[in-house]
Amino acid sequence: MRLLALETTELLGSAAVWQDDRLLAEWTLPEGQRSAASLVPAIARLLAEVGWEPRQVDVVAVSMGPGSFTGLRVGLTVAKTFAYCVQGALIGVNTLEAIAAGVPMEMDPVAVAIDAQRGDAAVAVFRRDAAGWPTPLADWQVAPFPKWQESLEPGTWLAGPMLRKYGATVPEKLRLVPPEYWSPRAGQVARLAARRFQQGYRDDLWKLLPLYSRKAHAEEKWEARQNH
């Protein structure tokens, strides 16, 4: 099983290739280069590095959010187009879960927060199952970041891009995961997707949608006008 994974929800996107049960290569994209025009050539170079032809890719995995509007749209568009062209399977991975999967196993439970703007965060709390996989304790939600932190159990580990803004204000009862584990990585997207593929899971190419942490500003303005 050959798998290509894309992560474009952060400023520094990444791409990875995975075969059977191991990561073959992972590339970090240049900062700010998350457009289809820059992502597609990067994928071509990555596949060339491991000696794969595009048609040899069996699975395309993509980080589906929550995350930035532009990054999610680029990632899903490229992933869907690639999967369609090579007739491969498509698997979407929740970005919060991808971050939790990259945190060292001994840091458990781990709460993950992604910036949703205006002081809010897209959040979820994970515990490891018997095999070490992160399992969400509840569905992810958007919540005011300070209030959500106060609701967490003492000793909980915190991870996620939100900490780049608010890491200095974390309550003493919580513990910070080292910064190198705050961002999602394509390698973790690949690992989670490979497991799901082996379990028989597939996403519908035509129905998979990005998970936005909030509506676009233009949508909110339009709704506000309709309610007046």
Q: In this structure, what CATH number is given to the domain that contains residue 41?
A: 3.30.420.40
| Same domain flag for 157 and 194 | no
pLDDT in tens, 34-82: 566 788 899 999 999 999 999 999 999 999 999 878 889 999 999 999 9
| Same domain flag for 90 and 189 | yes
| Same domain flag for 28 and 86 | yes
C-alpha dihedral (177, 79, 3, 93), degrees to nearest 10: 40
Residue written as token pair 């491991």: 50
Confidence of residue 12 (pLDDT cuts 50, 70, 90): confident
| Same domain flag for 63 and 52 | yes
Q: Please classify residue 130 by burial: count the beta carbons closer than 10 Å to its beta carbon, then call 0-12 exposed, 13-18 middle and 19+ buried.
A: exposed
Enclosing H/E stretch for 96: helix 95-102
The pLDDT score that the predictor gives to residue 67 is 86
Lowest mean pLDDT among 66-70, 118-122, 159-163: 66-70
Percentage of the chain beyond pLDDT 90 is 79
The pLDDT score that the predictor gives to residue 225 is 55
Strand partners, 14: 7, 28
| Same domain flag for 196 and 137 | no
- Residue 132 pLDDT more than 60? yes
The pLDDT score that the predictor gives to residue 164 is 94
Domain that holds residue 209: 2-95+183-226
Q: Contact, 71 vs 79, CB < 8 A?
A: no
Tell which wins on pLDDT, 221 or 74: 74
Lowest mean pLDDT among 65-74, 91-100, 109-118: 65-74
pTM summary value: 0.92
Residue 107's nearest CA partner among 9, 176, 180 is 176
- Give the total number of structural domains in the chain: 2
| Same domain flag for 29 and 81 | yes
- Residue 202 pLDDT more than 70? yes
Q: What angle do CA 212, 181, 7 make, to 5 degrees?
A: 40
- Residue 124 pLDDT more than 60? yes
